[in-house]
Structure 1
Amino acid sequence: MAQSILGSSPVCKPEFPRSSASTSSVSGSKLNVSDIDRTQLGFLNSSKTNLPLRLKALSEGVGLVQETKETTPKFISKPDDTFSEMRNRFLSFKKHKYLENLECYKELAEAQAPKFLVISCADSRVCPSYILGFQPGEAFIVRNIANFVPPFENGPCETNAALEFSVNDLQVENILVTGHSCCGGIRALMSMDDEEKSSSFIKNWVKVGKAAKSTTKTIASNLTFDQQCKHCEKESINNSLLNLLTYPWIEKRVSKGLLSLHGGYYDFVECTYEKWTLDYQKKSQKQEIGGYAIKNREFWS
């Protein structure tokens, strides 16, 4: 099996049952992540001898057709446990959340007025609503690989379409770009050649973070590759915050104090969360490391 370009694997057991597991180890504060998680698709392969081909081989000559085995999916006869569990969770949600808060959900059916736009990684281990406790109607959430925000000049994409809607129509008051530890997208960015031409969707997407990679290579050149990746995970968040300011409607609302830009970093190995706010300085940004300033930094542990 080819290695995933994202290069990440789970280090904790997911809530849904799985048919295989990967292992990882923690040495001090350094995490060694295995190459790839080999998941299965809900069926088992079994091999059986193909008798007609064997007979054909005997009749046409030794070595012409070797013994051939065909693999046939052996479907599980009992109901899919994954969706049975999902069904139970949905019905539990309906009984204990939806029906007990029916008026709230009726109001949400009419309109939404979230205070937050959250831009998070698509990684299955870092669901922002689960981690930060957002309830329905509180946050408009966009998820993509490595929680990148492309600059305005890159042109239209799903992420900036969501930016336009949430800022101009929903008028959110806060944008939170939240990254995480062991990010496969950042690892892919740090591993690739900057001049590489590729048809890979992933490689072409993570190029959005090239500025963060360049800063990391300059500042953290003496660190190990894993340490550089962790540095870039945080640096790319700030790079995305600066990219947000390239959107005219975002810069306008930030300059008027109607919108605040925040960064967050979730370390799911240690279960800690860092939060900070971009200190906006119109046309003369205060120069700190990387050309930006931050304020209101907090560390939750």
Structure 2
Amino acid sequence: MSVTGLIQGLNAFHSDYFTTNRALFERLSNGQTPEVLFITCSDSRIDPCLITQSQPGELFVMRNVGNIIPSYGAASSAEAAGVEYAVAGVGVRDIIVCGHSHCGAMKGLLQIGTLSEQMPLVYDWLKRHGEATRRLVLDNYAHVEPERLLKIAIEQNVLTQIENLETYPVVRSKLHSGQLNLHAWMYEIETGKVFAYDAGLRQFTLLRQRSFPVPDPLITTIPA
């Protein structure tokens, strides 16, 4: 869509949707209270609010190349600040990391050597924060055919980000007290289906009625 098309959309939004839902936006002007932090890729084919049918104010959304959250202390980043603000400031009760099929970032991660000259900034981002996923996939699944290998990389990358989230002090604290849940999702563009990681089955399964919070084996409840 061109900028002209975007402006036409803005005009339609204001004259139709905004006018019809003016009370909602007036209420939102007084503050936000989303219950979910939704972390996903910058890919233009993914719209978190569309696929979840969420209204304005219901999702706190973070997006970047490859839906990557660096581990705590790995870098002074907008991602770290966003996680901390969502949990400690906004008070979300669930964090969803949602990867997607045909992810260009994961394709690049599996062939990272070709990126260094063409897209040096993308190369640096993936090399610094995607190495754990790359190493796991190539060391354990090198025999798998390329299409299946990409799917494995996408899923393992989501699980890596869940592990990285658990290194954040504010996340650890909320997990310990039962005030926060982490969810690993994968959106399939061509079917519109979403799959959630089921730790009991150790695989991503079709998401129907409920999600499966990823349990943290390091969290233990200590009696007072």
Shorter-chain TM band: 0.7 to 0.9
CA distance in 2 between partners of 1:122 and 1:219 (Å): 28
Amino acid at match of 2:196: K
Preserved CA contact (<8 Å) 2:107 2:150: yes
CA contact (8 A) 2:176 2:219 kept: no
Q: Which amino acid aligns with 2:29?
A: A
Q: Which residue is 2:10 aligned to? A: 90
TM-score by length of 1: 0.63
Runs (4+) of structure 1 exceeding 3 A deviation are 196-199
Q: 2:138 aligns with which of 217, 221, 224?
A: 217
Aligned-partner Cα distance in 2 for 1:283–1:262: 16
Deviates more, 1:200-209 or 1:112-121: 200-209
Please state if 1:231 is matched with 2:152: yes
Q: Does 1:267 align with 2:152?
A: no
Cα distance, 1:217 vs structure 2: 1.8
Gaps of 5+ in 2: 198-212
Letter in 2 for 1:91: N
Q: Is the 8 A contact 2:175 2:219 kept in 1?
A: no
Match of 2:216 in 1: 280
Q: Which amino acid aligns with 1:279?
A: P
Q: Structure 2-normalised TM-score?
A: 0.84
Task: Describe how 1:110-121 pairs up with structure 2 within 5 A.
Answer: 110-121=30-41
Bigger-Rg structure (1/2): 1
Percent identity over the alignment is 24
Q: Does structure 1 retain, via aligned residues, the 8 Å contact 2:98–2:186?
A: yes
Question: Which is helix-richer, 1 or 2?
Answer: 2
Aligned equivalents of 2:5, 2:138: Cα separation in 1: 45
Q: Measure, in 2, the Cα distance between the counterparts of 1:95 and 1:254.
A: 43
SS of aligned partner of 1:136: coil
**RCO higher in structure (CA 8 A, sep ≥6):** 2
For 1:247 and 1:199, the matched residues in 2 are separated by: 30
Give matches, 1:20-39, under 5 Å. Answer: none
How far apart are the structure 1 equivalents of 2:32 and 2:130?
A: 32
**What secondary structure, in the 3-state scheme, does the structure 2 residue paired with 1:265 have?**
strand
Report the 3-state secondary structure (helix = DSSP H, G, I; strand = E; otherwise coil) of the residue aligned with 2:99: strand
Distance across 2 between alignment mates of 1:159 and 1:130: 23
* Aligned partner of 1:101 among 11, 14, 21: 21
Select 2:162's aligned residue among 235, 238, 241. Answer: 241
What residue in structure 2 maps to residue 170 of structure 1?
90
Q: Which residue of 2 aligns with 1:188?
A: 108
Q: Which residue of 1 aligns with 2:179?
A: 258
Contact 1:255 1:280 (8 Å CA) reproduced: no
Shift of 1:209: 1.7
Residues 118-169 of structure 1, C-alpha deviations (whole Å, 9 max, x = no match): 1110011112122222211011111100101110121211111111111110
Shift of 1:197: 10
Number of residue pairs the alignment of both structures matches: 202
Calculate the aligned-residue CA RMSD, in Å.
2.0
